[in-house]
């Protein structure tokens, strides 16, 4: 059987690949696995979701699966993924379930699982859950069936936590926040206002079908225009479940996850808060980040793509900052997973603490021209291993030499091959990426 869990949980087209039956089975198996690992008490799970329409259906299925296996459930409602991770700890839960497909289009949905302490589950536990999907055996009856209740102040609890760990007031900043019509539509504007900023909310009216639709971190153009129109100091773009953020400076220029990490890393190093003077990044991070960190005496540890792998390296090395170019940034002293709101608050705090604009701060690194092409394929694993594709990658890599690089990898969440090329100039990068994408498409 193919592995059910990808780099960020179980994901697919809702009610087709990700059916309520599968959601119920995953939740029931997760509760049984947790109970088997700790028989000292009845399992308690918290369940949150983003506002996409299928989340209502899948939430019902997940709750049914959990309670049918004897777990009690606290429903959190619509809130960001990092809020679920935080509330696992605050509410002393054994399991957190977030129903979201993050930045994916509305028809998709997903299930993310967090264990005790709000950490993503290790591969071994996920494999146990998958193996137990069709388990037969006696079910709880009577008083042993799980109970369900609602947490009505879940967003308030999360925002209060964010404010507690925000180091400086944001007074004097005007920020436009694009909530992607997603899970941060209430929490992000509220958190930034309470931290002292003047806030203009954009795409903060979810209706179940407009999540990520031409907005948010995957479509920052509208945010860039709004920042300029309102004369704002910066813009913040979240994705559908707000575990990431990108930024826009006052002139409408995009500031990506690499640049955000560079700004935070330099600030933390200056304050003696960057453990081991080390930043953890993925193989997708721009070469410019590596060069900038070297200039500031900061080492870079590189992992596979996926914030779970960044988290593993952070925990293994005791490091204090890591993330991805896409805007997943992890600060393990304060959060157990990527948190777009926490990242934005830290970035804005750096602005107010230094008195510098975001544009000034972002000059700490220069991005090499980078082209990323997503190529739809029928079988991403087979295509990535095809000899013709490997030969093409080797040829382009040799041509670029030390002045650029090539990265080709299967998407962790979709049937895509991601072709990324960095080169000294944009034309060279585009031409090489187009060439490789053509080979991938011809094979796939």
Domains along the chain? 10-152 (3.40.120.10), 157-362 (3.40.120.10), 370-443 (3.30.310.50)
Average pLDDT over the chain, rounded to an integer: 94
Count CB neighbours of 168 within 10 A.
15
Binding residues for Mg(2+): 102, 239, 241, 243
Mean pLDDT on 68-73: 96
Q: Determine the angle formed by the axes of helices 340-354 and 81-90, rounding to 10 degrees.
A: 100
Bridge-based pairing state of the strands 329-330 and 322-323: antiparallel
What is each CA distance from 400 to 286, 394, 429, in whole angstroms? 15, 10, 9
- The Cα–Cα gap between 196 and 248 comes to 19
Mean pLDDT on 247-275: 97
Percent of residues, the chain, with pLDDT higher than 90: 84
Q: What is Dmax (Cα atoms) for the chain?
A: 69
Identified catalytic residue from 29, 69, 102, 217:
102
Residue 238 in tokens = 């979240």
End-to-end CA distance of the chain: 22
What is the pTM for the complete model shown?
A: 0.89
More confident residue, 305 or 111: 111
- The pLDDT tens digits of the residues spanning 117-145 come to 999 888 899 999 999 998 888 899 999 99
Give yes or no: 102 in active site.
Answer: yes
397's CB contacts (< 8 A; 6+ apart) are 405, 406
- The Cα–Cα gap between 82 and 442 comes to 40
> Given this model, what pLDDT does residue 1 score?
63
Q: Are 110 and 104 in contact (CB under 8 A)?
A: yes
**Phi then psi dihedrals of residue 404, to 5 deg:** -165, -175
- The pLDDT tens digits of the residues spanning 151-161 come to 999 999 999 99
More confident residue, 308 or 302: 302
In this structure, is the dihedral angle defined by the CA atoms of residues 29, 33, 39 and 43, taken in order, positive or negative? negative
3-state secondary structure 97-162: EEECCCCCCCCEEEEEEECHHHCECCHHHHHHHHHCCCCCCCCCCHHHCCCEEECCCHHHHHHHHH
Residue 32 in tokens = 């049984």
């Amino acid at each position: 059987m193919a592995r059910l869990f990808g780099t960020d949980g179980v994901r697919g087209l809702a009610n087709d690949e990700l059916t309520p039956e599968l959601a119920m089975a995953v939740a029931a198996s997760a509760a049984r696995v947790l109970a088997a690992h700790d028989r000292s008490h009845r399992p308690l799970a918290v369940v949150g979701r983003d506002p996409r329409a299928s989340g209502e259906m899948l939430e019902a299925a997940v709750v049914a699966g959990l309670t049918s296996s004897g777990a009690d459930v606290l429903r959190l409602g619509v809130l960001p993924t990092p809020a679920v991770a935080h509330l696992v700890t605050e509410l002393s839960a054994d399991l957190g379930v977030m129903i979201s497909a993050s930045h994916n289009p509305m028809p998709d949905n997903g299930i993310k699982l967090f264990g005790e302490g709000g950490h993503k589950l290790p591969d071994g536990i996920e494999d146990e859950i998958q193996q137990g999907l069709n388990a037969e055996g006696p079910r709880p009856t009577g008083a042993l069936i799980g109970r369900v209740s609602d947490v009505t102040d879940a967003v308030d609890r999360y925002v209060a936590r964010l404010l507690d760990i925000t180091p400086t007031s944001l007074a004097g900043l005007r920020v436009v926040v694009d909530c992607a019509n997603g899970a941060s539509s209430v929490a992000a504007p509220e958190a930034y206002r309470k931290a002292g900023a003047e806030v203009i909310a954009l795409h903060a009216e979810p209706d179940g079908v407009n999540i990520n639709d031409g907005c948010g971190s995957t479509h920052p153009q509208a945010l860039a225009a709004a920042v300029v129109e309102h004369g704002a100091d910066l813009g913040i773009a979240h994705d559908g479940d707000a575990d990431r953020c990108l930024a826009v400076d006052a002139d409408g220029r995009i500031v990506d996850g690499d640049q955000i990490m560079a700004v935070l890393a330099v600030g933390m190093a200056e304050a003696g808060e960057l453990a081991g003077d080390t930043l953890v990044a993925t193989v997708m991070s721009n070469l410019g980040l590596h060069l900038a960190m070297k200039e500031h005496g900061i080492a870079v540890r590189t992992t596979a793509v996926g914030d779970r792998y960044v988290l593993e390296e952070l925990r293994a090395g005791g490091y204090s900052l890591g993330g991805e170019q896409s805007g997943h940034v992890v600060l393990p002293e304060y959060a157990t997973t990527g948190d777009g709101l926490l990242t934005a608050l830290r970035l804005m705090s750096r602005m107010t603490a230094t008195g510098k604009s975001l544009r000034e701060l972002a000059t700490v690194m220069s991005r090499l021209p980078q082209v990323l092409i997503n190529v739809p394929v029928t079988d991403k694993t087979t295509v990535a291993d095809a000899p013709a594709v490997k030969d093409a990658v080797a040829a382009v890599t040799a041509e670029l030499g030390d002045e650029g690089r090539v990265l080709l990898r299967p998407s962790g969440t979709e049937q895509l091959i991601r072709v990324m090329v960095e080169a000294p100039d944009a034309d060279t990068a585009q031409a090489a990426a187009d060439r490789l994408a053509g080979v991938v498409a011809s094979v796939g």
